[in-house]
């Protein structure tokens, strides 16, 4: 829309300046004046050469500037550009026809459109409306109504349009229902959502868990606060180099968070490989108490609040939004405890979580457990081989369901894992082809669910 508006305005200016009718006035101080007729001509309605509306142009330029500077204004710019474009197109057509049909005349008229041309234009408009409406309607159905590959729970039109299905709904439920309070460290683009999903104090409006940063980072926070957030996210001085020292990063980050009285860290799945999260995973005082395919919550168990929620999750008394996140979170905790009985229980929970929702997070728990324990590894190999067989048989049916992307990602991870670990050359070659096919399937699926 921005490019179209610029093109229309450019053509309008060229025609306005080059085709404008002029009349010379003799005299010592001769001037060029634009003809502005006042009496209608006999061969059509009289046309007054348009003037440049500086106020309108200024509004249009400011609106476009806001759209370029901040993406949240793009819809406003589009809505403002449409009527402006229509006005300039109308004037452009009238200017061209007025000059074309009145060569050498001082008085301009716009010829009336014949009935045949009117019917032809109307027919074209109807065809364009039906054609574009059908095409856009089909895409609207495919993208916003048909089964949604990215999620199997949050699939409304609004959530698809805004990508809010990726926001921490479930993690917010966990924090809210378990009445967690204090200072937290969060990913800055999710700050506003985390504040919204909590139950604020009815008298003060203060949220139980206080944010470290939110989406207004550049506007509502001091630069020092934003720089501190960036420093902690990056793992501090020990994150430099090709092989970061995660043990030292964990110690440094723990001290930083304790200095800010932060006992809870909430991060989206896309940030789980950052120095912050990887460092805390290796620190004795920090444990993961909530985990699903979208979010992870780590708490400082050296604090009372952290220890309480840690014990509640481990015992099964903590409140979770669904069985999947409960089983996966408890499995993650139990599999890290050096106790054979506890690890066996954690493996059963991870297996249950993967069976209820085949996806990357429970699969990684199973694979890591199998690598640590040879006995568990036999069970893992059986689970993943059965899944790969089911995947090839059922993928066409799964593609008609919400949330199929999680299943495809699981298939890619399993195929890559088996291809690396198998000793059979023929099987290795066969498995090497599967991830390529699955990636292609995923790419086509993602492209088909986007504008």
Structural domain for 314, as ranges: 158-321
Number of helices followed by number of strands (H, E) in the chain: 18, 7
Paired with 41 in beta bridges are 44
271-310 burial, b for 16+ CB within 10 Å, e for fewer?
Answer: ebebbbbbbbbebebbbbbbbbbbbbbbbbbebebbbebb
In a domain, 264, yes or no: yes
Question: Given phi > 0 = left and psi -120 to 50 = alpha, else beta, which region is 34?
Answer: beta
What is the average per-residue pLDDT within 257-267?
97
DSSP 238-253: GG-SSS--HHHHHHHH
What is the average per-residue pLDDT within 431-441?
90
Same domain flag for 248 and 306: yes
pLDDT of residue 249: 95
In a domain, 138, yes or no: no
Closest alpha carbon to 324 in 294, 345, 298, 297: 294
In a domain, 408, yes or no: no
Same domain flag for 66 and 189: no
- The CA-based angle 292-297-302, given to 5 degrees, is 145
Same domain flag for 177 and 312: yes
Structural contact between residues 402 and 432, judged by C-beta atoms closer than 8 angstroms: no
In a domain, 215, yes or no: yes
Same domain flag for 68 and 207: no
Lowest mean pLDDT among 26-30, 288-292, 399-403: 26-30
Give me the percent of the chain exceeding a pLDDT of 70. 92
Same domain flag for 215 and 284: yes
Alpha-carbon span 331 to 320, nearest angstrom: 14
Q: Which of 271, 286, 321 is the last residue of a domain?
A: 321
Given pLDDT bands bounded at 50, 70 and 90, which one contains residue 432? confident
pLDDT of residue 219: 74
Q: What does the pLDDT look like over 319-352, one tens digit per residue? A: 999 999 999 999 999 999 988 899 999 999 999 9
Given pLDDT bands bounded at 50, 70 and 90, which one contains residue 361? very high
Res 427 pLDDT > 70: yes
In a domain, 166, yes or no: yes
pLDDT of residue 22: 63
Q: What does the pLDDT look like over 116-163, one tens digit per residue? A: 989 999 999 999 999 999 999 999 999 999 999 999 999 999 999 888
| Beta-carbon-side half-sphere exposure of residue 148 (alpha carbons within 13 Å) | 18
Same domain flag for 303 and 246: yes
195-205 burial, b for 16+ CB within 10 Å, e for fewer?
Answer: bebbeeeeeee
The alpha carbons of the chain give a radius of gyration, in whole angstroms, of 32
In a domain, 247, yes or no: yes
Same domain flag for 84 and 17: yes
Structural contact between residues 316 and 330, judged by C-beta atoms closer than 8 angstroms: yes
- Please state the pTM of the whole predicted model: 0.80
Structural contact between residues 349 and 398, judged by C-beta atoms closer than 8 angstroms: no
Q: Which of 290, 321, 352 is the last residue of a domain?
A: 321
Same domain flag for 162 and 270: yes
Res 82 pLDDT > 50: yes
Same domain flag for 108 and 162: no
In a domain, 346, yes or no: no
Res 42 pLDDT > 70: no
Query: Which distant-in-sequence residues (6+ apart) come within 8 Å of 21 by Cβ?
Result: 34, 35, 49, 99, 105, 106, 108
Q: Which of 321, 348, 376 is the last residue of a domain?
A: 321
pLDDT of residue 365: 96
User: What's the domain count of the chain?
Assistant: 2
Same domain flag for 184 and 280: yes
Same domain flag for 184 and 85: no
In a domain, 357, yes or no: no
pLDDT of residue 446: 83
Same domain flag for 86 and 169: no
Give the phi and the psi of residue 292 in degrees, each rounded to 5.
Answer: -145, -165
What is the average per-residue pLDDT within 413-423?
90
- The CA-based angle 33-36-42, given to 5 degrees, is 135
């Amino acid at each position: 829309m921005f490019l179209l508006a610029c093109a229309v305005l450019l053509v309008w200016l060229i025609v306005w300046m080059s085709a404008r009718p002029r009349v010379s006035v003799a005299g010592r101080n001769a001037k060029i004046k634009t003809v502005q007729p006042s009496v209608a001509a006999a061969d059509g309605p009289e046309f007054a050469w348009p003037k440049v509306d500086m106020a309108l142009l200024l509004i249009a330029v400011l609106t476009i500037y806001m759209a370029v500077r901040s993406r949240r204004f793009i819809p406003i710019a589009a809505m403002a550009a449409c009527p402006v474009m229509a006005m300039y197109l109308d004037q452009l057509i009238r200017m061209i026809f007025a000059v074309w049909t009145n060569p050498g005349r001082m008085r301009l008229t716009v010829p009336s459109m014949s009935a045949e041309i009117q019917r032809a234009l109307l027919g074209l408009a109807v065809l364009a409306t039906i054609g574009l409406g059908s095409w856009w309607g089909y895409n609207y159905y495919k993208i916003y109504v048909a089964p949604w590959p990215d999620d199997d729970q949050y699939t409304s039109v609004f959530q698809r349009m805004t990508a809010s299905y990726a926001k921490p709904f479930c993690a917010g439920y966990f924090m809210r229902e378990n009445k967690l309070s204090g200072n937290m460290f969060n990913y800055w683009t999710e700050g506003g959502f985390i504040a919204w999903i909590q139950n604020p104090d009815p008298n003060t409006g203060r949220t139980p868990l206080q944010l470290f940063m939110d989406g207004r980072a550049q506007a509502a926070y001091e630069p020092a606060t934003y720089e501190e957030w960036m420093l902690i996210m990056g793992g501090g001085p020990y994150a430099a180099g090709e092989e970061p020292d995660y043990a030292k990063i964990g110690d440094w980050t723990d001290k930083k968070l304790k200095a800010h009285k932060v006992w809870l860290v909430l991060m989206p799945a896309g940030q789980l490989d950052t120095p912050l999260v990887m460092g805390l995973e290796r620190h004795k005082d920090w444990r993961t108490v909530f985990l699903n395919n979208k979010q992870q919550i780590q708490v400082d168990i050296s604090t009372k609040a952290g220890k309480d929620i840690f014990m509640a999750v481990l015992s099964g008394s903590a409140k979770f939004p669904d069985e999947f996140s409960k089983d996966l979170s408890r499995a993650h905790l139990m599999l890290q405890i050096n106790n054979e009985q506890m690890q066996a229980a954690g493996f059963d929970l991870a297996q249950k979580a993967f069976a209820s929702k085949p996806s990357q997070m429970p699969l990684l728990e199973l694979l890591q457990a199998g690598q640590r324990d040879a006995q568990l590894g036999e069970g893992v190999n059986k689970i993943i081989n059965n899944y790969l067989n089911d995947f090839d048989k059922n993928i066409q049916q799964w593609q008609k369901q919400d949330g199929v992307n999680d299943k495809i990602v699981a298939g890619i991870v399993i195929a890559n894992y088996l291809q690396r670990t198998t000793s059979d050359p023929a099987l290795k070659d066969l498995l090497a082809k599967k991830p390529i096919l699955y990636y292609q399937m995923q790419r086509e699926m993602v492209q088909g669910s986007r504008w």
